[in-house]
Structure formats: C-alpha cells, structure tokens
Amino acid sequence: MKLLRYGPVGKERPGILDSAGRMRDLSALISDIDGDALSHAVLEKLRAIDADTLPLVVGSPRIGPCVGEIGKFICIGLNYADHAAESGLPIPAEPIIFIKVNSAICGPNDTVRIPRGSLKTDWEVELGVVIGKTAKYVSEAEALSHVAGYCVINDVSEREFQTERGGTWDKGKGCDTFGPIGPWLVTADEVPDPQDLGMWLEVDGRRYQDGSTRTMIFGVAKLVSYVSHFMSLQPGDVISTGTPPGVGMGQKPPHYLREGNVIELGIEGLGSQRQKVEADV
C-alpha cells in the first residue's frame, strides 16, 4: 500500500493510492497515518479494503508528511562510504546517530527555507524507515519485522551551523523545513529488499546524487537493531538512513542552495519530492 496525508498544514487527512494511482480518502477508517495506524492489525485491515471503492480525493491538494505525530526523527550520519570520503571524514566503525527536531518536518513539496545567516544550506536524499511495532534490544534478524514501511526524506542541512558553530550537528539539521518527508509511506510488503533501491537528487535540473541503498555501510536491519539498543523505537518513529555521495558540500568547488533553486529527488518505488527554495523571513 501507498499511504499518504493530504490537506493544509496541521489539518491533514489520511489517504491511500488506488490501483490507478489516484488519491482516496481513508478518514472513515482511520483518523491519521500515525503510530496507532501502523500496527500489523490495522495495516492488515486496510489491505483488505478495495481502495478503488473509497471516496476519491478531488483536485490537487497539498501532500503533507506521510507520517503524522512522529515521535522521534532519528538520523544516521555518514552511512555511505563515498559520502564519508567527500566529507573528508573516516568511515564510521559504528552508526552515527543524531536527532532531527520534529519542527523541521514538512511535506514533500513544501517550500524549503534557507535560515537567516545561512551560506551553506545543502541537500541529502535519504531512505526513511517508519517503525510500526515497538523495538527494544531487537536483533538484526528480528529488526525488519518492526518496520511498517519506507519513504523518501530530504535531510536538508546547513553545513556551517552543523560543523563550524560549536561542533553539534543538531543545529545544522533542525531548522524549520529541513525535513521533507513523503510523498507516500510505502508499506514494507511492497519493498522486498530495502537494500536495492535507486535514489537520485537534482537541483535546477542538474543531477547531483545518483546512488543506491546497496552501498550503505550499515543496512536497514542493522540500523533498526543498533538504535533499539540505545533507545526504544515506537510506532510512528522515523529513521533517516544516510545519503549517497553528491551533496553540495562535496562539489569542487562546494555548491549550496540559493533562493529560487528547485530541488527534485526520489527513490525507486517510493515516489518523488519537489521543493522550491526561498529565504526565511
């Protein structure tokens, strides 16, 4: 299934794509695409419904983040060897974990805003993993059974704030609009191998990132297991799993986002995003 949320900011409604790729309303069945809706039992109930019989969503409403009421937005740094190299950093021996604050979350096609004083706002296409069942001290063998589905994430980052302003990554990762998520939450049964997905990102039509989840240092099962040994994972939590090479910081010379740019990105089978870049006010 491809689940989504549509409507104005803060008033999103749950939806699903039908067999023809049209949006259908799920409000009569669930209140939101959130932790409560991501259990195995609820997803099985939704699978049993013929989406083509649900109310059609008319027009072209805004698409919101595909998960509502996200509990934790957990990110993994330097999880592709080539990206570590272009960043001038060693390949990590263990996954690098940081938290992206929830106020950064926005819809997949919402405007990305360059924060005041920023000169180094950058892009990162990433595979998002959405937790559907509580995970605590789980093994790698068990880990994927705790995953409800997958989505596209743009881990927008301000590099000066991240690396030159005191050494803490979070303030370069958590600015408003720095976490576009969606368009869809694609349930895990439709992603037989999360380690074999092509991914890409373009700015103003120029392709900068063209990679695959095959080249992750730590795969999805390892990440879910690893993180669960440091914090419990709850239904509706999201893990962003790192980016392949081609970020702006790694260009020669470095190239960063400017007002008026258009970012387009996607992952095989998970849909695509499109964001216009504006300066924050």
pTM score: 0.96
Give pLDDT, residue 207.
Answer: 98
* Rounded distance between C-alpha atoms, residue 268 and residue 200, angstroms: 9
Give pLDDT, residue 276.
Answer: 98
Domain ranges of the chain: 2-53, 73-279
Residues of the chain with pLDDT under 70: none
Give pLDDT, residue 87.
Answer: 80
Beta-strand runs (E) in 142-250: 147-154, 157-158, 179-180, 185-187, 198-203, 206-212, 238-240
Beta-strand runs (E) in 53-184: 73-77, 96-99, 105-106, 112-114, 121-122, 125-131, 147-154, 157-158, 179-180
Q: Report how far apart the first and last C-alpha atoms of the chain are (Å, whole number).
A: 38
Using alpha carbons, select from 179, 182, 188, 163 the residue that is nearest to residue 62: 182
Which fold is adopted by the domain 73-279? Fumarylacetoacetate hydrolase; domain 2 (3.90.850)
